[in-house]
Structure 1
Amino acid sequence: MEIMNRCYTHAKKRPVKIVQFGEGNFLRAFVDYMVDIANEENVFDGSIAIVKPISYGNIDLFTKQECQYSVLLRGLVDNEEYVEKRMITSVDSICDCTTDYEAYLSLARIETVKYIVSNTTEAGIKCDETDKFEDKPAKSYPAKLTQFLYERAETFNYDSTKGLIMLPVELIDNNGDELKKCVYETMDRWNLKSEFKDWVKESCIFANTLVDRIVTGYPKNEIEEIWEQEGVQDELMVTAEPFALWVIESDKPINDEFPLDKALENKKGMSVIFTDNHKPYKQRKVRILNGAHTSFSLASFLSGNDTVLESMNDPVTFGFMNKTIYEEIIPTLDLPKEDLLNFANQVESRFKNPFIRHELLSISLNSVSKWKARCYPSVKRYIEMNHELPSNLTFSLAALLCFYQGIRKEMGYLVGIRNEHEYRIQDDEDILNFFYENKDVDNLELVQRFFNKTNLFSDVELKEESIMKISKYITDIKIKGIAQCIKEEHLYG
């Protein structure tokens, strides 16, 4: 059987325009996929040089396959099953900066390089005070990037046209601003010359970004069958859902030179949005997508479902989710209604993806902080607008409190009971201790203590009413069960 390589893909040689920190599944199924389409549509004509930023792992498979691989998209588009397999030829090369520092620095000397993309995990954009300029390379990503920028500035004699655009996709708030802050701090700590500092500040852009795509990774259980069907061995294949969103916030317009939005115009469910404010899009994602997940998952689990797909196939849970989104979340958001409705429709299709098994217990991890960040803002705004409690979101908090009532504490988790079967409750130690210490108090006392612990509802006019309503919901759930409560309270539509 043939091996996936440049001979097989007939990859065209293109100038390197992007240096990418990270070789993981997400970047390859998201950024590299989009760039590949932009090349095919003749709107970009650039390739990617990947930098493996940490010592863990190796790049042997990339070398073996000459950085060629395929992306397999599977899911629902317009409520119909969608499958797309694309050979990705946008990656030109890969180097390990921890073992070949010179190869890494040589990328900074490539005249056509314009963009830096990174996904070094949420922990990646942090300074390390032990980093030194003389390290080859420095340990932290911001310090490595500072070394890279210094090499480029020196090579091109501080030419302002050779500045770079940083596009971090790490999942932290204001990722571009945080990366810039770390680079500036590193430059100051290393006492680098003022000419370099001025060049970075005046010639480089650090964009805040928001990314959204579920990437399910290497299809280990199906790979032999896929290879047989395609007639080629691809050990770097990555699978993902069809939906993709990349929001890029920049003070200066960059869409003319990086026209991924134009490239994806005809790809349903995929979009790149250039804006001067990414926050409304983040709010939309957090409140609708993440908020829906958090608001129905624990109630669905307690009612007997184990996955998101099972929840969507359960009329009661599905109806509960829909009423929550359309009657309690969307009305509290400020983006155009049509945009919000379209996004909600996409969320529904994503949750119904038959190719993804998303465990509700996985979603339940750290649910207390998730509910506070994802659901409470909708509750608060709903109260401000309507002067009453949103029934579904209030019920979802009652379901959370029921889910967290474990029977015993073990190393790192609580043990709960559902239908005579045990399940794990995982959260911060402080939260687990709270629920264990309050496992025998009555429902009203539990809600009051929980509000004091989390500071929830302290800033709304209906705090006392919410305590009474949630404690009643908890009592009803324990007596009647989740599904019956949702039906009797008309919480689904």
Structure 2
Amino acid sequence: MKQIQELHSRTPREIKVVQFGEGNFLRAFVDYFIDVANEKGAFNGDVAVVKPISFGTLERFHKQDNLYTVSLRGRRNGEPYVENRVITCINRVVDAYGEYGEYAALAKLPSLRFVVSNTTEAGIVYDETDRFELTPPNTYPGKLTKFLYERYEAFAGAKDKGLIILPVELIENNGGKLRDCVNRLIELWKLGDAFKSWVAESCVFCSTLVDRIVSGYPRGEAEAICEKELGYQDELLDAGEPFALWVIESDRDISGELPIDHLGKAGMNVIFTDNQKPYRERKVRILNGAHTSCVLAAYLTGKNIVRDAMQDPLCRELMERTVFDEIVPTVKLPREQAEAFANSVLERFDNPFVDHEILSIALNSVSKWKSRILPTFRDQYAASGKAPKFLTFSFAALLAFYTIEKLEDGVMVCLRGGEPYRFKDDEPVMEFFLKHCGLPVAEYVRAAASHEEFWGEDLTKYGDFAEVVTANLEDIRANGMTAAVKKLLGK
């Protein structure tokens, strides 16, 4: 089979983006967006990819002339959808450690305008032991600070040579936290007030929210995809879902310089805003909340993967009622926007190409219920004065799911239809449920609901919450989860 570089080529453009990170997500998200924008004539710029860590290799990029394929596989408008796109926007790849001179030279490019990063959630940290004289500094904020300083000096502090910083690390207010780290390093390294002012006035630190499931190299399917769909070998093949959302928050409007929000026909979903909080809340409450509120019950009805739950009429109705009756009304966006997002979420859960195991979602469900369900529960309770029916049932499902037989090798062993299943949570959580799940149902419920270390508050204060959970859990234990869900839905 031929190699990708034998059948495809790229036309170099000016480098407008430096990207810290060469991983799967950036390549199937940011680089995909830029590639589509280039094709549509909206951006006309290339990316220089920087390997920001000392280990690893860029050999596959060099071998393939920086070409690779993004394979999007899922549903779109209710139908199975496959898109294989050769990405041609990566101009060069640079090792910040092994090729420091070439890396540092990127800071001096007149055409450069954007810095993108995905250095993991632990990457945006202030480290007072980091040093300016290192080539490069150890941390990502250290690398970025020195990179900006070298650009500042190269262009003598020209106000139009600042950069737009777009971190996509999965932490809230990622741009603000990165900016704070940079400012602290400027002070620590004594780089001067003039440089600090240039960073404040000429650079834009955006906080972003990103959403696309990227599974990366499809090891079990790569050979078949290359042979039957692509017709070439691609060692950098990168698989993901069709859905993508990029919310970009900034104090200054940058949409004119990053014109990718109007490319709707290409499936681009980009929102420029001065407040991303409602969109983050929408994602956490609807997407994450739908998972956490429903998949434990689905598992106890016999479903092992999310798609099976979505294709089961009973489990799907449970999720739809939970999402549209109780979650969507609490989202602080226009109802039609929240409903449209919810419909896209249900479509994503029904992806025919992804076997998303429920037991992997079940990891740390206690902290997930607190962060993803409890805020919605509070809002519903405040509005109606009573515990919301479906979210309350999700708590009973959690207690049923966490009914432990034993702890073994650091994981919980529970039973479904007499067969064991295993999953994990923090050690204090596992110890609590091992100790309490065998109590009479009402005592078990009250012990769990009043455990403030889990929820940050005593949930028994919410009217008849504990009594309703107790009734639900008794029904689940007596008649099984399927019968309990039918009863909940009035069937």
**Aligned partner letter, 1:214:** I
Give the superposition deviation at 1:9: 2.2
Superposed CA RMSD in Å reads 1.6
Give the superposition deviation at 1:437: 2.3
Give the superposition deviation at 1:261: 0.7
Counterpart of 1:234 in structure 2 is 234
Q: How does 1:8-407 map to 2 (within 5 A)?
A: 8-229=7-228, 230-262=230-262, 264-268=263-267, 270-407=268-405
Per the normalisation by structure 1, the TM-score is 0.96
Give the superposition deviation at 1:225: 2.1
**Aligned partner letter, 2:43:** F
Distance 2:422 2:225 in 1: 35
Over 3 Å off, 4+ runs: 454-462
Instruction: Report the 3-state secondary structure (helix = DSSP H, G, I; strand = E; otherwise coil) of the residue aligned with 2:122.
Output: coil
| 1:419 is aligned to 2:417 | yes
- 8 Å CA contact retained: 1:177, 1:207: yes
| 1:4 is aligned to 2:19 | no
Distance 1:408 1:57 in 2: 41
Cα pair distance change 1:138/1:491, threshold 3 Å: farther
252-261 or 426-435, which deviates more:
426-435
Report the identity percentage: 47
191-200 or 78-87, which deviates more:
191-200
Encode CA deviations 1:308-327: one digit per residue, 9 max, x unaligned.
00101111111100000110
Give the superposition deviation at 1:460: 7.5
Give the superposition deviation at 1:462: 5.3
- 8 Å CA contact retained: 2:450, 2:460: no
**Aligned partner letter, 1:4:** I
- 8 Å CA contact retained: 1:21, 1:118: yes
Give the superposition deviation at 1:457: 8.6
Distance 1:299 1:415 in 2: 17
Instruction: Report the 3-state secondary structure (helix = DSSP H, G, I; strand = E; otherwise coil) of the residue aligned with 1:150.
Output: helix
Encode CA deviations 1:244-269: one digit per residue, 9 max, x unaligned.
0000001101011110112x22134x
Instruction: Report the 3-state secondary structure (helix = DSSP H, G, I; strand = E; otherwise coil) of the residue aligned with 1:235.
Output: coil
Distance 2:10 2:144 in 1: 29
- 8 Å CA contact retained: 2:47, 2:89: yes
Instruction: Report the 3-state secondary structure (helix = DSSP H, G, I; strand = E; otherwise coil) of the residue aligned with 1:233.
Output: coil
- 8 Å CA contact retained: 1:328, 1:393: yes
- 8 Å CA contact retained: 1:323, 1:491: no
Instruction: Report the 3-state secondary structure (helix = DSSP H, G, I; strand = E; otherwise coil) of the residue aligned with 1:123.
Output: helix
Instruction: Report the 3-state secondary structure (helix = DSSP H, G, I; strand = E; otherwise coil) of the residue aligned with 1:365.
Output: coil
Cα pair distance change 1:228/1:489, threshold 3 Å: closer
Give the superposition deviation at 1:196: 1.4
Counterpart of 1:480 in structure 2 is 479
Encode CA deviations 1:59-102: one digit per residue, 9 max, x unaligned.
10011111110111111111111111111001111111122221
Give the superposition deviation at 1:52: 0.8
Give the superposition deviation at 1:55: 2.0
- 8 Å CA contact retained: 1:406, 1:425: no
- 8 Å CA contact retained: 1:248, 1:272: yes
Q: How does 1:434-453 map to 2 (within 5 A)?
A: 434-453=432-451
- 8 Å CA contact retained: 1:98, 1:137: yes
Give the superposition deviation at 1:459: 7.4
Give the superposition deviation at 1:410: 2.5
Encode CA deviations 1:124-173: one digit per residue, 9 max, x unaligned.
11122221111111211111111111111111111111111110111111
Per the normalisation by structure 2, the TM-score is 0.97
- 8 Å CA contact retained: 2:70, 2:86: yes
**Aligned partner letter, 1:233:** Q
Give the superposition deviation at 1:423: 1.6
Instruction: Report the 3-state secondary structure (helix = DSSP H, G, I; strand = E; otherwise coil) of the residue aligned with 1:414.
Output: strand
Encode CA deviations 1:442-480: one digit per residue, 9 max, x unaligned.
222222222332364947895251111112211111111
- 8 Å CA contact retained: 2:406, 2:412: yes
Give the superposition deviation at 1:111: 0.9
- 8 Å CA contact retained: 1:457, 1:463: no
Distance 2:239 2:464 in 1: 47
Distance 1:41 1:170 in 2: 27
237-246 or 461-470, which deviates more:
461-470
Cα pair distance change 1:457/1:194, threshold 3 Å: closer
**Aligned partner letter, 2:407:** K
Distance 1:345 1:287 in 2: 14
Distance 1:426 1:461 in 2: 26
Distance 1:34 1:25 in 2: 14
Give the superposition deviation at 1:430: 1.7
Distance 2:458 2:376 in 1: 13
Give the superposition deviation at 1:378: 1.1
Give the superposition deviation at 1:482: 1.0
**Aligned partner letter, 1:134:** E
Give the superposition deviation at 1:355: 0.4
360-369 or 400-409, which deviates more:
400-409
